[in-house]
Amino acid sequence: MIQPRPRTIPEATVARLAVYLRALTTFAEGGRSTVSSGELAEAAGVNPAGLRKDLSHLGPCGVRGVGYEVQTLRDRIARVLGVERSRACVLVGIGNLGSALADYAGFGSRGFEFVGLFDAATARIGQRIGGQTVRPLDELADVVATTQASIGVITTPADVAQSVCDRLAAAGVRSILNFAPVPLVAPAGVDVRKVDLSVELQVLAFLGQQRLDDAAVDGAALGEPA
């Protein structure tokens, strides 16, 4: 049995496909019917050749000499990414960040719907955020089972993140997005993806500092007084 096309799309490509999808939506709203790889690449902030290679994973979907049909390409990327059907998500840890995510309009428009918000603090239970009511952690397994939620988001403090991860996995969640600054271990069959905001800031700060240091050294090499 020959696979006509390898189903394994590189993760970096998947991430960019999501960006292309958003750019294509903007083009469609602007009334454009076709775009070239150059235009789309500029809108997405990537290299045109790389964009074409990314799209090649979906099979031929452009017309040579013309470009890509906006609507067709948009639909195809959406189907590959699975945006066509809505995905139920649960969110654990309703602090500042959790509240912001629960209320973030950008998720709903991309097919992600929060069907359950959970927190351990009794003070938070009952609060209404983004159309949902915060529930106690005890109800997590029930909600995941009844809603068939496949994605869990962890915005708890670091010390309870692993325990929450275990409970999510046990309840049947298949994918976890972790904002807590600890590496999580999950059973096989459960994907974990980490977003670490402090690390992003520290990398940024380091790059800025490094640039200053380099400039200082270059200046010294050019004969500046010590």
Does 181 contact DNA by CB under 7 A? no
83 contact, one of DNA, its own copies, none, CB 5-8 Å limit per kind: its own copies
52 contact, one of DNA, its own copies, none, CB 5-8 Å limit per kind: DNA
**Is the Cβ of residue 35 or residue 88 nearer to DNA in the bound state?**
35
Instruction: Indicate which single residue of 17, 24, 62, 151 sits in contact with DNA (rule: CB under 7 A).
Output: 62
Q: What angle do CA 94, 99, 102 make, to 5 degrees?
A: 105
62 contact, one of DNA, its own copies, none, CB 5-8 Å limit per kind: DNA
Does 199 contact DNA by CB under 7 A? no
End-to-end CA distance of the chain: 70
d(CA 115, CA 143): 8
* Structure tokens given for 90: 């649960």
Three-class secondary structure of residue 216 per DSSP: helix
For tokens 């972790």, name the residue.
Answer: 178
* Structure tokens given for 69: 């049909």
| Amino acid in the structure at residue 106 | G
Residues that bind DNA (rule: CB under 7 A) add up to a total of 26
Q: What angle do CA 83, 10, 65 make, to 5 degrees?
A: 80
78 contact, one of DNA, its own copies, none, CB 5-8 Å limit per kind: none
Residues that bind its own copies (CB under 8 A): 1, 7-9, 11, 14-15, 18-19, 22, 43-45, 80-83, 87, 89, 95-97, 99-101, 103-104, 106-107, 110-112, 150-151, 174-177, 181, 183, 189, 191, 193, 195-211, 213-214, 217, 221
- Nearest distance from residue 175's CB to DNA, in Å? 18
Q: x/- site string to DNA, residues 27 to 56, per CB under 7 A?
A: --------xxxx-------xxxxx-xx-xx
d(CA 171, CA 117): 15
Does 64 contact DNA by CB under 7 A? yes
Residue-by-residue DSSP string for 91-154: EE--SHHHHHHHT-HHHHTTTEEEEEEEES-TTTTT-EETTEEEEEGGGHHHHHHHHT--EEEE
List contacts with DNA (CB under 7 A). Answer: 10-13, 35-38, 46-50, 52-53, 55-56, 60-68
